[in-house]
Structure 1
Amino acid sequence: MKKLLVADSYDSFTYNLIQLIEQHGAYTYTIVKTDQIHLEEVSHFDKILLTPGPGLPQESGILLDLIQQYAATKSILGVCLGHQAIAEAFGAKLVQLPQVLHGLTQHMTLTPAGTKTTLFAHLPATLNIGLYHSWVVQSESLPEGFVITGELQQINSTLPHFNQANIVHTPLVMALAHRSLDIHGIQFHPESIMTEFGKDILYNWLDS
């Protein structure tokens, strides 16, 4: 069986992702905290899943170093913090939102590049996604090697604490991919019940 490394940044959502991986059944997986692994231990894995987590990428052990060392040779998917870490590892910047987007369901639109990527194969061009974050990748800072594959064109919420006027960075980057390397990032949570086709997205990556 193929081997999957789950690089865990101490997030409660990690085991929801693990449940989906177990249901898929084609991988043996190893869960290791990002501050409890050495880079050389990663070499024998086929794929690397970078989990969500609190804080910023530079606060999560060897997360950035892991991406930089194995980007050219491993298939990597980053979720939420993992997505942000991929962008930062390649030189992009993060922007803190004026208002946190925690527990929101929003509509993501696939870009033309997104409709062609294997990650979103056989999925509709617009789908609901579950958000739990307060930082986003600054789109204009992405290096030329990356394409944006999913965007949030606007944010709609009827929650009483939510101030629409505070969100000034739309469209927001919700998914990205490297043009030539097998690297994908998604800002949203595929394991969340708020995300449509979350299992399909994860399985598209596992099957690729």
Structure 2
Amino acid sequence: MRAYLQLENGMIFEGTAFGKIQEISGEVVFNTGMTGYQELMTDPSYYGQIVTMTYPLIGNYGINLEDFESDGPKIRALIVRERSKSPSNFRCEMDLDSYLKYSGVTGLEGIDTRALTKTIREKGTMKGVITTRMLTATELRKKLGAYDNSKAVYKVTTKESYIVEGTGKHVAVMDFGIKNNIIESFKEKNCKVTVFPATASWEEVLGVNPDGVFLSNGPGDPKDYMDIIENVKVLVDKKPTIGICLGHQLIALALGGETKKLKFGHRGCNHPVKDIKQDRVYITSQNHGYVVTKVPESMEVTHVSMNDESIEGLRHKDKPVMSVQFHPEASPGPSDSDYIFEHFIEVLEEVGHNA
């Protein structure tokens, strides 16, 4: 069935619908990864977004039921140049079209994804509608006006706290849209993990007496979550704390920094980041539309993007508090930066030894 992507600036891309056929609106972004489409579709940080894959062929190794990063897709729709109709992989359990149909997610293929990506890079991220009929300008404005992705964290966070047992350090995790592989990374390091919903107070978190606190990734504008920021102010003062992605931004805001929305964001598993102390560049997995622009006086920059020199990591000058903008567990992506977790565990051990 013919389908159209109509952007808020009036541009129209014509292609073919697959997955669930429906009219859907969302923020149109692009991801530069060659692989990892299954992980990104189920990454809660993409909640409410229409994701365009820049790599031209998507779905060639199919879908399996083990590599999900949450309980199902969080994207609004997926746009590809060409979807593979005959996936080939020993772990493949279904093709991309079948999975999107099963999950109720819309797909659009056959459009010029290169042109769309260049448009987003030049004009900035914008909202759009995927539809099987051409919308009038009035209809388009109405559809886009009804789209609201604010407070998205509360839609993807766990409803209740839960515990993952371990024999090592006890880490309290604030779930703003955490990926499964982050929990797995702590399990691999024998940590006991207590996961809290984003609505949990600092009293609840400190009530389990954790060795440290982890602030997860998640969707949306960090300034939408002033109540969470107030909790973070207390947590970073009381316990060793690490934040990634949204958690990184929340730490910066809690300590007096500033954030802003990027023109088109960083999304992909091939973003080079320099660790300043090591004087070494790592390839990282990223998914964010906002960035720290002003460093709190109490913190210093530890990592910078090699693409646009934006701030990618911070460390407190006096307290065991650190954060990175990228996803150290890298699902999808390279595992180069997994050392971030190892460093945090070392900090917890050092603090415990000196206590």
Residue 263 of structure 2 corresponds to which residue in structure 1? 98
The CA deviation string for residues 24-46 of structure 1, in whole angstroms up to 9 with x for no partner, is 11x211111111x2221222111
Q: How far off its partner does 1:205 sit? A: 0.7
1:204 and 2:349 aligned: no
- Per the normalisation by structure 1, the TM-score is 0.78
Contact conserved, 1:127 with 1:196, CA < 8 A, in 2?
A: no
Contact conserved, 2:328 with 2:338, CA < 8 A, in 1?
A: yes
Contact conserved, 1:84 with 1:94, CA < 8 A, in 2?
A: yes
The CA deviation string for residues 146-186 of structure 1, in whole angstroms up to 9 with x for no partner, is 110010132xxxxxxxxxxxxxxx31101111100111110
Task: State the AA in 2 paired with 1:145.
Answer: S
1:71 and 2:224 aligned: no
Residue pairs, 1:11-50, within 5 angstroms: 11=178, 13=179, 15-25=180-190, 27-35=191-199, 37-43=200-206, 44-50=209-215
Rounded to whole Å, the distance in 2 between the matches of 1:195 and 1:48 is: 25
Residue 177 of structure 1 corresponds to which residue in structure 2? 315
**Secondary structure class of the residue paired with 2:342:** helix
**Secondary structure class of the residue paired with 1:82:** helix
- Per the normalisation by structure 2, the TM-score is 0.47
Rounded to whole Å, the distance in 2 between the matches of 1:206 and 1:60 is: 27
Q: How far off its partner does 1:17 sit? A: 0.5
The CA deviation string for residues 62-105 of structure 1, in whole angstroms up to 9 with x for no partner, is 43122211222211110100000000111111121111221241
**In angstroms, what is the RMSD of aligned CA positions?**
1.8
Rounded to whole Å, the distance in 1 between the matches of 2:342 and 2:227 is: 26
Residue 292 of structure 2 corresponds to which residue in structure 1? 137
**Secondary structure class of the residue paired with 1:52:** coil
**Secondary structure class of the residue paired with 1:55:** coil
Cα distance change, pair 3–72 in 1 and its aligned pair in 2 (3 A): same
Rounded to whole Å, the distance in 1 between the matches of 2:212 and 2:227 is: 17
Identity of aligned residues (%): 24
Unaligned runs of 5+ in 2: 1-167, 348-355
Rounded to whole Å, the distance in 2 between the matches of 1:97 and 1:125 is: 25
Task: State the AA in 1 paired with 2:336.
Answer: F
**Secondary structure class of the residue paired with 2:237:** coil
Residue 171 of structure 2 corresponds to which residue in structure 1? 4
**Secondary structure class of the residue paired with 1:190:** coil
Q: How far off its partner does 1:57 sit? A: 2.6
**Secondary structure class of the residue paired with 2:238:** coil
Contact conserved, 2:269 with 2:283, CA < 8 A, in 1?
A: no
Rounded to whole Å, the distance in 2 between the matches of 1:85 and 1:125 is: 26
Q: How far off its partner does 1:135 sit? A: 0.8
Residue 351 of structure 2 corresponds to which residue in structure 1? none
Residue pairs, 1:51-200, within 5 angstroms: 51-60=216-225, 62-111=227-276, 114-115=277-278, 125-138=280-293, 141-154=294-307, 170-192=308-330, 193-200=332-339
Task: State the AA in 1 paired with 2:198.
Answer: T
Contact conserved, 1:57 with 1:63, CA < 8 A, in 2?
A: no
Rounded to whole Å, the distance in 2 between the matches of 1:4 and 1:61 is: 23
Rounded to whole Å, the distance in 2 between the matches of 1:53 and 1:29 is: 18
Cα distance change, pair 58–128 in 1 and its aligned pair in 2 (3 A): same
Contact conserved, 1:7 with 1:50, CA < 8 A, in 2?
A: yes
Contact conserved, 2:245 with 2:324, CA < 8 A, in 1?
A: yes
Contact conserved, 1:8 with 1:50, CA < 8 A, in 2?
A: yes
Dislocated runs of 4+, deviation >4 Å: none
Cα distance change, pair 60–206 in 1 and its aligned pair in 2 (3 A): farther
